Amino acid sequence: MGATKTITIMLVEDHTAFREALASLLGHVPDLEVVAQAGSLAEARETLDGLLDGHLDVAVVDLACPTETGAL
């Protein structure tokens, strides 16, 4: 058997408590790693630009962000 790949995740959610709770829950799953969090789509774009290796597997995005709509 080969090594299991860790899936990297960015959370985009304007409600800080919910975002942090979700990150905590996902942190207990062995093959998942929350590598970035953002409170808005603008912050998410900046965070994506600043990721060290530029690699991200999944973005979990709140589609009802009050300040913006659209894709990263």
* Reported pTM: 0.81
Structural domains in the chain plus CATH codes: 7-60 (3.40.50.2300)
Which of 2, 5, 15, 30 lies closest to 60 in space, CA to CA? 15
pLDDT tens digits, one per residue of 12-36: 999 999 999 999 999 999 999 999 9
The secondary structure of 6-54 as a DSSP string is: PEEEEEE-S-HHHHHHHHHHHTTSTTEEEEEEESSHHHHHHHHHH-SS-
Q: How confident is the model at residue 71 (pLDDT cuts 50, 70, 90)?
A: low
- Chain centroid to CA 72: 11
Rg of the chain taking only CA atoms, in angstroms: 13
